[in-house]
Structure 1
Amino acid sequence: MISLINLKLRGWVNYFAMGDSSKCFAHIRDWVEKKVRRHLAKARKRKGFGWKQWSSSWLHDALKLFDGYRASTGKAKAAPAR
C-alpha cells in the first residue's frame, strides 16, 4: 500500500514542484500522514488517529512513507549558455 502511495506522491510532487507550492505540500503531507495513521488505527480496531503512537518520523523511517516534498523556485542554477 505504501509503495502505491509513494508512487502517486512522487509524481504529484515532481509535477507541482515549480513555484511556491510549499504551503500546498505541507497540507498534502499532513493529510496523507493522517490517512495512514487512521488506517493503522482501524486495522488494530482502535479509535482516533494514533498521533502519539505513530509519529511522523516513524511513518517516514519505518514505513518508508514518501518525504521528498521539495519546491523549487524555478530559477536557473547557472547562467544559460550563449
Structure 2
Amino acid sequence: MAAVSPSPERGKELFNSTALGTNGKSCASCHPGGSGLEKAAASAPKKLEKVVNQCIVKALKGKALPAGSPDLASLVSYLKTLSPAKTK
C-alpha cells in the first residue's frame, strides 16, 4: 500500500473522523468547522504538533501520532488553512 502524502484535504478528513480516538469523538466534536482554532496557524509547527497530540490523547482518548508522520503533518496543514498566517 502506498504511503499517504500529507495534505490539508487529508487533515480535514482526519479532523472530522472518529478514528483518531476511542471515545467516538473527533476534533470537530469540540471544534466544529475549526471553531476556536482560527489563530492556530500562528503557532510554530512543532508546538502545534504537540497541541494536536495532546488533544488526541486527552480529549479523544487516542494514541499520539508519531512526529513527522503524514497524518500529523496533514492535521497541522489543515489547521493552517483555517486562517492564513501572516508571513514575512
TM over 0.5: no
Which TM-score band applies after superposition, normalised by the shorter structure? 0.3 to 0.5
Per the normalisation by structure 1, the TM-score is 0.40
Tell me which structure has the larger Cα radius of gyration: 1
